[in-house]
Chains A and B, each alone.
Chain A
């Protein structure tokens, strides 16, 4: 190609043409995979979302916005997902904030062990950890059974209710909230807290005016990290909600597989992706607002 650079590097790398060929070969398999199994599937559902259902199910070519219109008319699964994801995010936050604060400021020498213990469940099967709650909450011998015995209410049940789904969501995604919070609190300048206390501020005032603003970037990052997968969650409502509490994931599966209405399912899927993109765009905007917050960025 162009004039070659002189020196050992030039000698070592052989010509530039060979180098470019090598680079191409190195990224080719991953590039092909991205194209064939990420870009193509997403492109195909965007195309299908404007089509109509074929007589025997599936897709027939057309150009119509009907699928989007009917998706907007039946917003129940979307609203359910939004409510659950918001509730789950708040739940994670309430559980994770004191824990992250403890790990960052009080754990001392046990810090690394405790953090490793947070990661270990994450290595194991999500499905197994989720169905374990079927045993814990069951009405025969589990928590619901105890409540029945205590209150005399024979019909008390947790499984199959939105509350069971919420427990599953908080349980499943908690570590993703703890890590970013821990990172920001760990970096916090502890003298600020002391200064606040020296100036006579109480615990609550110090927390609200010093700790919370410092933890904010981690808090937003953690919230995004748990909110996004919660919105698209399918396994937890299917197992712990008995499929009764209908979220986006369940609605997608039933449109594609039960109703075999691919265009309707595609429109819903595209809608869900758009919500994710808006959320992430908001996050990136937040992160880019200031340098301090940028340090805590994860995505």
Chain B
């Protein structure tokens, strides 16, 4: 207490002496804030721009030496049969994953409203565990579980299940179910209950109430959950690499393989297409939500839904 009083008194004594100095240093601090902020945004976006820029590198070999502008590597990447296969796998994994996770997550969010406290606490605890435990630990322990389980199946039936699309999807769905669950529950908790009660008072069945009242209000969160689940799966490397099998590699695995061998402009071209696709999808999602929101006279944004979560 006395320390702060002396500081204040000291500062006040100094104030008269430094009057204009404080003003100038104040302006300096303000300018520093601006420069710092600009630098952070540069720091955040520079790597993304560099990848896109170097995808247009006209070089024939080394990716890091700039040899003039050329879009040729996009053609090379699109005609690469490996890239085509991996792209197909990416979709064959990301779409079913998003469908299942959205379905399971939404169902669980609705169901958890109707259960007792104990079960809800268990679910919450598991959801948080899935967030807290490092991805690499979950990936490796899932690998161990599958391998051990497949050995047991082999001993029992004589045929061994394989790692492939199904194992990757199963592992992705775990993460995305908790993501959708969190998004939809957040929406449920802020939802206006009066419409639901009015609907019941007007003798609507639970199913009709759900279809006409609850579901439309949840739709933005469900839609956002679907898109985020898709992009999570589409971009994921760690879980995928440890649960995949021969013939089910995805684009992030292609990129990681290229990194290990040395990045080429083709890597950058594939990465650029992934970046553009992911961002385009999320902007379309944003656009749909805004348009729908305007029609219903409410503001919903992807960013808002995501930020609400944080």
> For the complex, would chain A's binding face be called helix, strand, loop or mixed by DSSP majority?
helix
Q: A104 to B26, alpha carbons, bound, how many Å?
A: 18
- Check: A68 CB closer than 8 A to any chain B CB: no
Q: A60 to B128, alpha carbons, bound, how many Å?
A: 31
Q: Which of A27-35, A149-157, A285-293 interfaces with chain B?
A: A27-35
Closest 5 CB pairs of A and B: A232-B134, A26-B111, A132-B47, A200-B12, A30-B108
Could you tell me if B141 and A269 are in contact, using CB atoms closer than 8 angstroms? yes
Could you tell me if A134 and B111 are in contact, using CB atoms closer than 8 angstroms? no
Interface residues of A (CB under 8 A from B): 8-9, 11-14, 19, 22-27, 29-31, 33-34, 36-42, 44-45, 48, 58-59, 95, 98-99, 101-103, 106, 114-121, 123-129, 131-136, 138, 140-142, 171, 174-176, 179-180, 199-203, 205, 209, 228-229, 231-235, 239, 248-249, 252-253, 256, 262, 265-266, 269, 272-273, 276-277, 280, 298-299
Within 8 A of A (CB), among B25-67: 25-26, 29-30, 32-34, 36-37, 40-41, 43-48, 50-51, 54, 62-66
Residue interface mask B96-115, A partner, CB < 8 A = 1: 00001001110110111011
Please list 5 pairs of residues, one from A and one from B, whose beta carbons are closer than 8 Å in the complex, sorted by A's number. Answer: A33-B170, A38-B138, A44-B141, A128-B48, A141-B65
Complex contacts, A34 vs chain B, CB 8 Å? 123, 126, 130, 174, 177
Complex contacts, B26 vs chain A, CB 8 Å? 203
- Check: B213 CB closer than 8 A to any chain A CB: no
Could you tell me if A38 and B129 are in contact, using CB atoms closer than 8 angstroms? yes
Nearest chain A CB to B236 CB, angstrom units: 9
> Which one, A12, A277, A280, contacts B200 given CB within 8 A?
A12
Could you tell me if A205 and B7 are in contact, using CB atoms closer than 8 angstroms? yes
Complex contacts, B103 vs chain A, CB 8 Å? 29
Nearest chain A CB to B193 CB, angstrom units: 13
Q: A94 to B117, alpha carbons, bound, how many Å?
A: 41
Q: A123 to B281, alpha carbons, bound, how many Å?
A: 10
